[in-house]
């Protein structure tokens, strides 16, 4: 049987993206820098679930000083989903850090946010919480 290893997303700022995933509780488990290929791979996972990883791929800027790669098709990727213990607390932590809650957890079960490179992240409550304010009244913001 196949075994899930990781999902890969391309990023423009490794540190900002690691900080974002740190808010969700993911930690760096491995890093690889390729001088010859001019890229860095960073693998993140939730503690205790190291087999399910997110690979951040950062392609270094050209040596000639021209602009590095940008990515505007993050939505084409779809999304990465994480189960959380308390969706309200998780969303509040993200909001306190300046992250927009694109689809608030009005139903006590599901929310969507985006990484600094616009990759959609679905947050799913482990079980269900009763709908609660301020989440019930929050509108959707942008796309997710």
69 is catalytic: no
Q: How far apart are the first and last CA of the chain?
A: 32
Parallel, antiparallel, or unpaired: how do β-strands 39-46 and 6-10 relate? Answer: unpaired
| Inter-residue contact 10 to 71 (CB < 8 Å) | yes
At residue 38, the 3 state secondary structure works out as coil
From start to end of the chain, where are the E strands? 6-10, 27-34, 39-46, 49-59, 79-84, 101-103, 110-114, 120-125
Round to whole Å and give the CA distance between 67 and 86: 41
Catalytic hit among 28, 35, 122, 133? 122
Round to whole Å and give the CA distance between 40 and 14: 9
For the annotated catalytic residues, the residue numbers are 122
């Amino acid at each position: 049987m196949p075994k899930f290893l990781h999902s890969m997303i391309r990023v423009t700022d490794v540190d900002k993206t690691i900080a974002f995933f740190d808010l969700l509780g993911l930690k760096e488990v491995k890093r690889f820098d390729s001088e010859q290929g001019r890229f860095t791979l960073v693998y993140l996972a939730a503690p205790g679930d190291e087999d399910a990883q997110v690979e951040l791929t950062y392609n270094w800027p050209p040596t000639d000083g021209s602009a590095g790669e940008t990515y505007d098709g993050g939505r084409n990727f779809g999304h990465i989903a994480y189960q959380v213990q308390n969706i309200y607390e998780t969303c509040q932590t993200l909001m306190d850090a300046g992250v927009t809650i694109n689809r608030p957890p009005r139903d006590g079960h599901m929310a969507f946010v985006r990484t600094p490179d616009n990759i959609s992240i679905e947050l799913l409550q482990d079980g269900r919480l009763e709908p609660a304010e301020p989440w019930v009244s929050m509108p959707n913001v942008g796309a997710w």
